[in-house]
Structure 1
Amino acid sequence: MTSSQVGFWHFAHAYVRGSWRNEEESTFSLLAKSCHDIDLINYWMDGKRCLKVSSFGTLQHFTKENKPTGAADRCLDCSVEPTCPFSAKKIYLQRLKQGNTGWPVSVVCRDTTTDIESLTEALCYGPYGRCVYNCDNDVVTNQVVNMEFEGGATAAFSMIAFTERLCERKTTIYGTKGELNCEGSGPVYVFDFLSGQKVIHPSDTSNLKQTRLLGHGGADYYLMDSFISAVAENNKSLICTGPDESLASHLLVFDAEKSRKENRVVFCRREDTVKM
């Protein structure tokens, strides 16, 4: 069982106002945000193929019907803005005033010398200053995916927009001999049914102190480190997955979205039947 906590303001930034808000212009939420989660579940299943999938999800809250009475089309002109947690003033201007010129401010205002004046102008006329209840977004804000794999193993995944934590996973694995829990970058907690003992496995992030690749909880660094080491040492074993695994995960994501749209259980395709 895994959940992806997108973060309330991050979803508003990227999936309501931003580049991944509209399926026709980009893609659907599950592929844009949570293909990595489905990929992880596939990897944890150790080669067992997913047989069938069901999925449910809707666009909630960020709709024109939910626009507060008296709200303007842009945050900088809005009398309701002080009571709105998704306000562009709070997400961008407040961060810049606190000295944050990186993401997400850098996405809104791409000037190399970002200042209040240029950011304010971008919010006045650009897409990131729009009211979240008055955008052209159509991607879902929540989605659950249920999967059944060979051998009877099952997995459940949830993507949640409205969370305090930003882009963190919460995972629980229920086994016959114990239970495993992990949130974010760890540690990993393992409870043994027989002994009744819980063991804590801390995550080793010591290498991250030597690099500026801190994105995605340090995964950017380890991805590049493994690839460069594999090439330098001519050692394929350092690359854990390849195109076959990527194809299987993407097919599963598309099958899940097909299930959601058609409101039915989808029996998954075999990778060897797909024409490339």
Structure 2
Amino acid sequence: MEFHNLLSKSVLDRPLTIAIAGAGGRGGQYARMNDLLDVPARITAAADANEIRLETLRRDHGVPAEHLYADWRDLAARPRMADAVIIATQDADHLEPTVAFAELGYDILLEKPMAITEEECVAIEQASVKHGVSIAVCHVLRYTPYTTKLVELLRAGVIGDIVSVDHVEPIGFDHFAHSYVRGPWRTTKEAATMLMAKSCHDIDWLSYVIGKPAERVSSFGGLHHFKAGNQPATAADTCVACPLTDCEYDARKIYQIGRLPFALSKMLGGREPTPELITEALAVSPYGRCVYKCDNDVADHQVVNLEYEGGVTASFTVTAFTKMAGRRTTFFGTHGELFGDSDRIEITDFRTGETTVHDTAPADHSASGGHGGGDLGLMQAFVEALSAGRPELILTDVAESLATHRIVFAAERSRTSGEVVAL
């Protein structure tokens, strides 16, 4: 099989071939997006510990059974089997596979965050340079129709110069309980900090839309609510044994068919949900624990304050204590104000008093993938960049992502030290 490298700007006369290392929530989503691309691509190999996920790739995407592996190391031990690989393993398991596949000459699409330490992020960037491969990081927010329109408007000066920005990520109380109290991102012993795991997207996005490098950062926040001292006196340590019926974090309420599909899929390991399977899983899995009796240690709320080149300021709030909704941002400019909610952009012009509205929501959210079409936009850009030799289509190359990851690491240093950190 003929392979190419994006950095050589070659043009393919055949479908791009892709391997997947980690076919869970994110890897599986990118595989589904593959069928919607304008530029042809084929999934030719995959590795995941979950047999159900591998069978889905065989059934839905025609991946040969002999090219399905239980561990990414088994895939990496074979001669190169694709042009590119999507690495969507758990956060703490990004460095080793990225370096291994880079050594084999794969171009790489790496799920965010790059890694859970700054040293590992630097090592990933160095692997890209050393082995001459492209590594794109999955900051999908840059690729949404909403962001594309927003950047176009801001660069056109519709509100004059940007002076300050207020950005909010409302995680959702139930989503937070699933992922950051009961789930795999609950503790820095096993994963990244909450800010890195959930919001490196947002810090990266702010740098992109503001269009200037950050120079100083401060941050405040911590673990306020999800700890033992807040457990009601009559509560049990598991939800299935709990007599309380009015708890908003009751797993029997959260893990219902149709409520949080990604959470159900995670708890059930990709099996089709039924009431019986859900009841069985809640009795034995970590997702049935009382949120006040888990081993979580990550922050449940955080504020990040940023100063960019030229004095532009931004504040970012991420919190568990909301209903799950689209990110909300207000840009304050010298000639106007712009508000966006991830779908709709509203501009008020101070000079004319007029308000203009732009609706950027995809016509079919389910078809265009998650993150307001960002998942599809990312895959489209990645595949077209490699197929057509157009690296400029990748908005989140490894060097750019390393720079914005460093802002997140600096924010965490500020949160724990109380100091303003210069970048």
Give the TM-score, by structure 2 length.
0.58
In structure 2, the partner of 1:136 is: 295
In structure 2, the partner of 1:272 is: none
Q: Give the alignment partner of residue 308 of structure 2, picking from 130, 149, 172.
A: 149
Q: Which runs of 5+ in 2 are unaligned?
A: 1-165
Q: Which runs of 4+ in 1 moved over 4 A?
A: none
Q: Is the 8 A contact 1:108 1:128 kept in 2?
A: yes
Letter in 2 for 1:221: L
In structure 2, the partner of 1:271 is: none
1:119 & 1:203 partners in 2: Cα distance?
A: 36
Deviations 1:157-186 (A, max 9, x none): 0001111134x21000111111110013x2
Residue 204 (structure 2) pairs with residue 39 (structure 1)? yes
2:301 & 2:252 partners in 1: Cα distance?
A: 25
In structure 1, the partner of 2:391 is: 236
Q: Give the alignment partner of residue 183 of structure 2, picking from 4, 7, 18.
A: 18
Q: Is the 8 A contact 2:362 2:372 kept in 1?
A: no
1:109 deviates by: 1.5
Residue 271 (structure 2) pairs with residue 108 (structure 1)? no
Letter in 2 for 1:244: A
Q: Is the 8 A contact 2:175 2:324 kept in 1?
A: no
1:31 & 1:258 partners in 2: Cα distance?
A: 12
Residue 416 (structure 2) pairs with residue 252 (structure 1)? no
1:121 deviates by: 1.8
- Greater Cα offset, 186-195 or 230-239: 230-239
Matches within 5 A, 1:1-276: 1-46=166-211, 48-80=212-244, 82-92=245-255, 95-96=256-257, 102-110=261-269, 112-166=271-325, 168-184=326-342, 186-203=343-360, 205-206=362-363, 208=364, 212-268=367-423
2:261 & 2:300 partners in 1: Cα distance?
A: 25
Q: Is the 8 A contact 1:101 1:114 kept in 2?
A: no
Which has the bigger relative contact order, CA under 8 A and spacing at least 6? 1
Q: Which runs of 5+ in 1 are unaligned?
A: 269-276
1:241 deviates by: 3.4
Instruction: Please give the secondary structure, in 1, of the residue aligned with 2:192.
Output: coil
Q: CA 1:122–1:241 in 2, change beyond 3 Å: closer, same or farther?
A: closer
Percent identity (aligned): 44
